[in-house]
Amino acid sequence: MAFRGHDEYEDSNKQGNFLELLHWLCDHNPEIKAVALTNAPGKLKLTSPRVQKDIVSAIASECLHVIIENIRDSFFSILVDKSRDISVKEQMSVVIRYNTTAASLKATIDQLFSTHSLSISNLRDQGYDGASNMRGEYNGLKALILKENSSAYYIHCFAHQLQLALVAVAQKHPKIETFFTTVYRLVNIVGGSAKRSDLIRENQRLKILESLSIGEISSGRGLNQEITLQRPGDTRWGSHYSCLINLITMFSTIVEVIEMIATDSTSTGTRGDACISLELMLRFEFAFNLYLMKKILGISNELSKALQRKD
């Protein structure tokens, strides 16, 4: 959930989760309302972006403290992975940030251990992806830690290896690569603005209501939930599977919205992509590959879940 809102002015209807929750708290707690927001002494509202970030940092510090206390002198493992920030730049998250050479990663881990009085001799497992700076036989992070503790076994997640295999195979097959390029383009077009996303949801809602009224589908708990066409991750092919299922479910709705964009005179810069995408997705080859990859990814998705089970 986004902590801050894009528009935090007082006349905004969506100020972000922090301020919205603070308003709710004030409405239900007179003691807080007496000293918060408009009733705060002077300009001391304590709602600035800097204050909100300080609160997040405090919560993170408290969570980390509890985790460290639970570990104490027990054996433990470390996991290091990268995440993407809002600018779609990959950065090391949680433990490691910015500098990704093996030596700098090792120095950061050493500093973390020192800060929280953790002993590297209690480390029993290290888990990373397959990048050379991580799993390098001589100078990788794995090797640097093993030099100090031979019991800190390195494990490359089997589910992650499966994802990498799927990516490699898909990229080597021209028609499948073209298919996913078209899917990415469709996601960008229909999800390119809040207006189009709302249009997709509304059209799909009307179709579900129509299908319910004529008995084509049944209603019940957990059925006919609102779905969207979300961007699949680069290596998390479980997200590709979900994307393809939603694409099949909303196919007619997406076609209608793409047709509207392709003929909308105000959609300059997008009409060309919409026309090309519409032509491609109405071909038999696209439908064939859509159902083919749904079946294949359905099998690999079950395998991926099995590989992530504790047993």
Answer yes or no: are the C-beta atoms of 98 and 91 closer than 8 Å. yes
Kindly state the tokens that stand for 229.
Answer: 């066409």
Please say if the pLDDT value at position 204 is more than 50. yes
Among the ranges given (7-21, 124-138, 208-222), the one the predictor scored with the smallest mean pLDDT: 208-222
Alpha helices, DSSP H, located in 39-101: 49-71
Q: How confident is the model at residue 92 (pLDDT cuts 50, 70, 90)?
A: very low
Contact 123, 129 (CB under 8 A): no
pLDDT value for 217: 61
Length of the chain: 311
More reliable by pLDDT, 192 or 242: 242
pLDDT reading at 305 higher than 80: yes
For the ranges 13-17, 194-198, 211-215, 237-241, the maximum mean pLDDT occurs at 237-241
Residues forming beta bridges with residue 156, ordered by sequence position: 128
Query: 107-111, 249-253, 261-265, 290-294 — which is least confidently predicted?
Result: 261-265
Question: Across-strand partners of 127?
Answer: 79, 155
- pLDDT, tens digit, for every residue of 128-167? 777 777 777 777 888 888 888 888 888 887 888 888 888 8
The reported pLDDT for the residue numbered 267 is: 64
Model pTM score: 0.59
d(CA 101, CA 80): 13
Strand partners of residue 91: 83
Alpha-helical regions (H) of 191-250: 194-213, 237-249
More confident residue, 25 or 100: 25
Q: DSSP class of residue 91?
A: E
Question: What percentage of the chain carries pLDDT values higher than 90?
Answer: 4
- What lies within 8 Å, CB to CB, of 234 at 6+ separation is 167
DSSP state letter for 266: T
How far is residue 152's CA from residue 167's CA, in Å, rounded to a whole number?
Answer: 29
From CA 194, how far away is CA 185, in angstroms rounded?
A: 16
Question: What pLDDT score does 96 carry?
Answer: 40
Averaged pLDDT, 15-39: 83
Q: What is the pLDDT of residues 254-291, one digit of tens each?
A: 888 888 888 876 666 677 888 888 888 889 999 999 99
pLDDT at residue number 291:
93
Q: Which among 304, 211, 307 has a CA at the least distance from the CA of 250?
A: 211
Pair of tokens at residue 4: 């801050």
3 state DSSP class of 282 = coil
Q: What pLDDT is stored for residue 95 in this prediction? A: 45
- Res 111: pLDDT: 86
Query: 199 pLDDT exceeds 50?
Result: yes
3-state secondary structure of 307: helix
Q: 62-83: per-residue pLDDT in tens?
A: 888 888 888 778 888 888 776 5
Contact in structure between 252 and 207 (CB atoms under 8 Å): yes
The mean per-residue pLDDT over the stretch 49-60 comes to 84
Confidence of residue 84 (pLDDT cuts 50, 70, 90): low
Instruction: Locate the domains of the chain by residue range.
Output: 1-71, 73-156, 164-307
Sign of CA dihedral 90, 95, 99, 105: negative
The first and second tokens of residue 181, run together, are 């390029």
Asked if pLDDT for residue 60 goes beyond 80, the answer is: yes
pLDDT at 11 over 80: no
Is residue 258 within 8 A of residue 251, CB to CB? The reply is no
Mean pLDDT for all residues in the chain: 78
Within the chain, residue ranges assigned H as helices are 17-28, 30-33, 49-71, 102-115, 132-135, 141-148, 158-172, 174-190, 194-213, 237-249, 251-263, 271-281, 284-307
